[in-house]
Structure 1
Amino acid sequence: MLDQTAKFRIGEVVKHRLFSFRGVIYDVDPQFANTEEWWQAIPENLRPRKDQPFYHLLAENDESHYVAYVSEQNLLRDTSGEPIEHPSVHELFTGFDGTAYVRKSGSALN
């Protein structure tokens, strides 16, 4: 469920504030909803607060495509206008308008 305080929306293209990857949001958690082990594996100086929205992304960098889980504090809007090349994009979304994708009705990532 999308929290009303979430800064970004499903279908929006974003980029990571610190690392060289970008992606399209396909789900939002109102606050941290991953494992404690996952959170503890992040170096302490980079570890995000848990009390903020976290976004599920179909992500890509120059080397690969993957799924990422990113805190709101670490995301920026991607203004490149470039589409995401992740192979699962077409399973979840229809057309791209240069800023965001439109989610297919009834779509779910397995």
Structure 2
Amino acid sequence: MKIRTARFGIGDVVRHRVHPFRGVVFDVDPEFANTDAWWNSIPAEIRPSKDQPFYHLFAENAQTEYIAYVSEQNLELDDSGIPMRHTQVRALMVPDDAGMYRWKVNAGIMH
């Protein structure tokens, strides 16, 4: 079994390489851990391999906020410095001086 280190961590602001959205990482799976239905909904010609980290994101685009599940190969750091407007980010996290987010102490989450 190949051991991989996740490129991004909790609180990193990332953007999708192809689709116009960005998000804050709130959880990381060391390899694919979603349903087969989700996996099969991705067109085969662009389906990423399962043996890489996948990230749970508080995501947003110009129209809406949502939760996204994205493979590492499709993400890059977002160094725009633009604050996230996602409701859950604002409720559960605070920005730091490095442009990342960390859990609020009183948010009821133990990390």
The change in CA–CA distance for 1:103 and 1:4 in structure 2 (over 3 A counts) is farther
Residue equivalent to 2:109: 107
Contact 1:91 1:107 (8 Å CA) reproduced: no
Q: Which residue of 1 aligns with 2:19?
A: 19
Where do residues 63-102 of structure 1 align in structure 2 (5 Å cutoff)?
Answer: 63-97=63-97, 99-102=99-102
- Residue 94 of structure 1 deviates from its aligned partner by 2.0
Cα RMSD (Å): 1.7
**Counterpart residue number, 1:29:** 29
Helix, strand or coil at the partner of 1:8: coil
Q: TM-score, normalised by structure 1?
A: 0.88
Does 2:42 align with 1:42? yes
Q: Distance in 2 between matches of 1:81 and 1:59?
A: 15
Determine if contact 2:4/2:52 at 8 Å carries over to the other structure: no
CA shift at 1:98, angstroms? Answer: 5.1
Whole-angstrom distance in 1 between the partners of 2:97 and 2:21: 20
State percent identity of aligned pairs.
55
User: Which structure 1 residue ranges, 5 or more long, are not aligned?
Assistant: none
**Greater Cα offset, 54-63 or 97-106:** 97-106
TM-score normalised by structure 2 residue count: 0.88
Higher helix content, 1 or 2: 2
- Structure 1 position 102, deviation (Å): 1.3
**Higher-Rg member (1/2):** 2
Q: Give the Cα–Cα distance (whole angstroms) in 2 for the partners of residues 98 and 62 of structure 1.
A: 24
Structure 1 residue 55 displacement after superposition? 0.3
Gaps of 5+ in 2: none
